Amino acid sequence: MISGIVLAAGASTRMGEPKALLDWGGMPLICYQVRQLREAGTDEVIVVLGHRSDEINRRMRRENCRVMNNPRYHAGRAGSLRIGAKAVNRDTDAIVIVNVDQPRPAEFLRALIAAHDPKHAATRPTFEGHTGHPIVVSGWLRPELLEAKDENDGLRGILHAHVSELGEFVAGELAVLDVNTPEEYRAALARWAPVASA
């Protein structure tokens, strides 16, 4: 069983508007993320919302996912990770953890999932020596995700504790795409976004 967690609770301060609602190929970015994870073969997708959660939730009511709310989203990302990890099926074999500002098409996600060895704690995509996203975490690491704390560096801290058990998936430039500012969004939209269907 493969689970997906989309972390979308942040305030999008640098963007100036909710990143989850940015247009990406004719649909809100959050909807694109859910659909691509589903197309990639995940059995469940958990979306963790926080800032302007009601507004975002209304826009994704038809999506095949489960929405969780993090009322303390301002306290840090680890809280959203804990909420997402708690919501996934406890028997899951692997968890794809993606931030809402890291759009990835299904073929990228499918290849990353296929590259993951369950003996590894996690598998990270890389591009020219740089570590990218999203990350596939083995299901057996779920108890540690449930204990993630920002003061211990959240997911990064958990991965650091298992540094000798990490796998890598050599990918293209898309592995390091982040959309944090209006300038980055416009550049990413022009280069990477799918063409909206009529």
CA distances from 107 to 43, 72, 80, 128 (A): 16, 34, 26, 20
Residue 197 pLDDT > 70, yes or no? no
- Phi/psi region, residue 26 (left: phi>0; alpha: psi -120 to 50; beta: rest), is left
pLDDT of residue 198: 37
What's the whole-number average pLDDT of the chain?
Answer: 94
Query: Could you count the other beta carbons within 10 Å of the beta carbon of residue 53?
Result: 21
Residue 198 within a domain:
no
Dump pLDDT digits (tens) for 120-130.
999 999 999 99
Q: Is 103 exposed, middle or buried (0-12, 13-18, 19+ CB in 10 A)?
A: buried
Number of domains in the chain: 1
Residue 196 within a domain:
no
CA 9 distance to own-chain centroid: 11
Query: What mean pLDDT do residues 92-114 have?
Result: 97
pLDDT of residue 196: 60
Q: In what helix (H) or strand (E) does residue 57 lie, and over which residues does it extend?
A: helix 53-59
pLDDT tier for residue 76 given thresholds of 50, 70 and 90:
confident
Domain with 83, as residue range(s), is: 2-191
Residue 131 within a domain:
yes
Cis, peptide link before residue 125, omega less than 30° from 0: no
Residue 189 pLDDT > 50, yes or no? yes
Tokens describing residue 147: 């204990």
Residue 132 within a domain:
yes
CATH number reported for the structural domain that contains residue 33 in this entry: 3.90.550.10
CA geometry: angle 88, 90, 93, nearest 5 deg? 90
User: At 103, phi and psi to the nearest 5?
Assistant: -65, 130
Query: What mean pLDDT do residues 166-185 have?
Result: 95
Which pTM value belongs to this model? 0.94
CA geometry: angle 75, 102, 106, nearest 5 deg? 135
Dump pLDDT digits (tens) for 5-22.
999 999 999 999 999 999
Dump pLDDT digits (tens) for 128-164.
999 999 999 999 999 999 999 988 899 999 999 999 9
Residue 31 within a domain:
yes
How, if at all, do strands 94-99 and 135-138 pair? antiparallel
